[in-house]
Amino acid sequence: MDGFWDFFWFLIWIFLFMAYLIVLFQILTDLFRDVDLSGWWKAVWVFFLIFVPMLTALIYLIARGRGMAQRSMSAAKEAKSATDDYIKSVATPASPADQIASAKKLLDEGTITPEEFASLKAKALA
């Protein structure tokens, strides 16, 4: 019976330690994401996170918790915007004139036959 409870408390401590690590990494990510905070203040926060971790984490979450959510949302919006812009730039279909010019280049190089060129031209104009 004693082995079960030892294992149970071991799991509880592991869970709490993992939760603490997640909070710590979220705080560190937020610190370095914040462009308004000077390097000296970031160094002070990191110093205290290393030497007084639990108290500093609680103070940070209380003092800067609302800003953490806002910075996280703005970073997610910027990443989504950059991804959308990249997808649009890659996925934008070429104009019919570009498609015909590309097919003409292939025809001139001898890569395709005149019948294939006519087929590609008809497809581009459709």
Q: Per-domain residue ranges for the chain? A: 2-92, 93-126
Long-range CB contacts for residues 97-104, cutoff 8 Å, separation at least 24: 99/123, 99/124, 100/124, 100/125
3-state SS class at 48: helix
CA 78, CA 71: separation in Å to the nearest integer? 10
For 45-99, the pLDDT digits (tens) are 999 999 999 999 999 999 998 889 899 999 999 999 999 988 887 776 778 888 8
Q: What is the pLDDT of residue 30?
A: 93
